[in-house]
Amino acid sequence: MSRFDAVFTAALTARQAEGRARALRPVSPAGPGRVSTPDGALINFSSNDYLGLANHPALAARAADYAAAWGTGAGASRLICGTLPPHQAIEARIAALKGKPAALLMGTGWQANAGVLAALLRLAGNGPGAGPELFSDALNHNSLIAGARLAGVRPRIFRHNDLAHLAELLAVPPTGRRFIVTESVFSMDGDRADLAGLAALADEHDAFLYVDEAHATGVLGEGGRGLCAGIPGIDLVMGTFSKALGSFGAYVAASRPTIDALINFAPGFIYTTALPPPVLGAIDAALDLLPGLDAARDALAARAAGLRDVLHGLGIGTAGSSTQIVPAVVGSEAAALGLAARLREAGLLAVAIRPPTVPEGTSRLRLALSAAHDDRDLAELAGALRAAWPALRRAA
Ligand SMILES: *Cc1c(COP(=O)(O)O)cnc(C)c1O
């Protein structure tokens, strides 16, 4: 019993009444692209392990090597005595990969966005005049919104991927330094931002352009470098190691003064323990593999296009997906839950995503493809969708 259990229980009961209460369900890896669950083994279409690296032997081996060489924990925050040579080696590799002068490792992607964006906004608010202005895509990740909140900045939201709307908002005379924040690939829709268009607008309005590459790093761009590489005018690129790179942690890459300012002024970097050596080993091995994975990236893109065709054939929309993230947007929560349940019976894991994670009326299965799948796995998914959807559509 805790002092406020009655309060917590009341909140949970309200969630249950809405049919939106959630609970943790354990899974274990069970071969390529598969997990075992209490219901048996399922082909996993809900993981962000897009390249199948989370269970790659080279990553596990180097994680073990680094644990043996450097220990299992860094022992301190980076500025105290937690900076080991491998932290700096990975930072140099990320800076090179992203084509930026410098990079900084962060604890997680959530922490990176919340901590880095907040610190940059605070710094940009220094000096006379009003505070900074933040222009944020309507579908930006929760962590980016958290960064704005931490800095006490109320973001101006532009309609998703609508650069004309953004231009309209930017046309109002500025009251402070400006930031534009977007994802390069959107986590729930699987579509891409127009980065060149955003860079041009940022240039025109002297705005700092901040791009989250969580879902592009490793998967898209030449050699898996992401979508920002080669586009001038992007001030900061953020990404994670927790998705296609198969382990954990995050990074930002930017100019040397930007990175040095974060080292000195970002509480989300300063007051947390450095990434542990085994994780650095896994990252290092993933970065070694990345340039050689063109065939895997091509297969992933081809399978995603095939899956979109299947869904469109069933009359199911896929938002603006052009990547390995293919949302099957079915609309109602009941239809999404029903379809997820039917797929589960057929041996496929595809978790329903509902409000508040996505807007009302756009409940979906977020189908995430992985290089760990093969063509037969995709054929099974297509067959199960074709078998399940007609009855659900009639009931919807
Ligand atoms: C997953 C995600 C993050 C958070 O990354 P973690 O390393 O999992 O904390 C940040 N931004 C976007 C767009 C994401 O999808």
pLDDT at 357 over 90: no
pLDDT tens-digit map of 192-211: 999 999 999 999 999 999 99
Q: How far is the CA of 258 from the centre of ligand 1 (A)?
A: 21
Nearest CA to ligand 1 atom 6: 109
pLDDT at 167 over 70: yes
- β-strand pairing of 178-183 with 34-37: unpaired
Residue 373 near ligand 1, beta carbon < 6 Å:
no
Decide if 241 contacts 250 (C-beta within 8 A). Answer: yes
> What's the token pair of residue 164?
């004309």
Nearest CA to ligand 1 atom 14: 214
Distance (Å, rounded) from C-alpha 49 to C-alpha 116? Answer: 25
Distance (Å, rounded) from C-alpha 297 to C-alpha 308? Answer: 17
3-class DSSP state of 368: strand
pLDDT at 19 over 90: no
> What's the token pair of residue 74?
């860094």
| φ, ψ of residue 87 in degrees (nearest 5) | -60, -45
Nearest CA to ligand 1 atom 10: 109
187, 242, 247, 363: the catalytic one is 187
Decide if 250 contacts 218 (C-beta within 8 A). Answer: no
3-class DSSP state of 388: helix
Atom of ligand 1 nearest to the CA of 215: 15
> What's the token pair of residue 69?
């060489």
Distance (Å, rounded) from C-alpha 217 to C-alpha 305? Answer: 19
Enumerate helices (H) and strands (E) in the chain, giving the number of each.
13, 14
Residue 110 near ligand 1, beta carbon < 6 Å:
yes
Q: Which of 67-76, 229-238, 313-322, 351-360 has the lowest mean pLDDT?
A: 351-360
Q: How far is the CA of 391 from the centre of ligand 1 (A)?
A: 35
Tell me how far CA of residue 163 lies from CA of 58, 91, 118, 175, in angstroms. Answer: 42, 32, 24, 21
- Confidence at 394, pLDDT banded by 50, 70, 90: confident
> What's the token pair of residue 132?
């900074």
The radius of gyration of the chain from alpha carbons, rounded to an integer in Å, stands at: 22
Q: How far is the CA of 110 from the centre of ligand 1 (A)?
A: 6
- Confidence at 38, pLDDT banded by 50, 70, 90: confident
> What average pLDDT score do residues 211-223 get?
98
Tell me how far apart the 2 most distant CA atoms of the chain are, in Å: 64
Is 243 annotated as catalytic? yes
Nearest CA to ligand 1 atom 8: 109
98, 100, 160, 243: the catalytic one is 243
Q: How far is the CA of 142 from the centre of ligand 1 (A)?
A: 9
Distance (Å, rounded) from C-alpha 67 to C-alpha 56? Answer: 17
pLDDT at 127 over 80: no
Atom of ligand 1 nearest to the CA of 240: 7
3-class DSSP state of 87: helix
> What's the token pair of residue 205?
């309005």
Examine residue 277 and say whether the peptide bond preceding it is cis (omega within 30 degrees of 0): no
* DSSP string covering 159-199: PTT-HHHHHHHHHSPPSS-EEEEEESB-TTT--B--HHHHH
Place of tokens 């930002």: 252
- β-strand pairing of 363-368 with 28-29: unpaired
pLDDT at 146 over 80: yes
Q: Where are the beta strands (DSSP E) in 262-369?
A: 325-331, 348-349, 352-353, 363-368
Contacts with 15 (C-beta within 8 Å, 6 or more apart), sequence order: 21, 22
- Confidence at 36, pLDDT banded by 50, 70, 90: very high
Tell me how far CA of residue 126 lies from CA of 45, 129, 132, 177, 274, in angstroms. Answer: 46, 9, 9, 10, 28
Q: How far is the CA of 175 from the centre of ligand 1 (A)?
A: 30
Decide if 303 contacts 375 (C-beta within 8 A). Answer: yes
Decide if 154 contacts 148 (C-beta within 8 A). Answer: yes
Q: Looking at residue 396, what is its pLDDT?
A: 65
Q: Which of 36-40, 154-158, 371-375 has the lowest mean pLDDT?
A: 36-40
Q: How far is the CA of 224 from the centre of ligand 1 (A)?
A: 17
* β-bridge partners, 134: 179
Distance (Å, rounded) from C-alpha 113 to C-alpha 83? Answer: 21
Contacts with 356 (C-beta within 8 Å, 6 or more apart), sequence order: none
Residue 247 near ligand 1, beta carbon < 6 Å:
no
Is 212 annotated as catalytic? yes
Is 142 annotated as catalytic? no
Atom of ligand 1 nearest to the CA of 141: 13
> What average pLDDT score do residues 177-183 get?
98
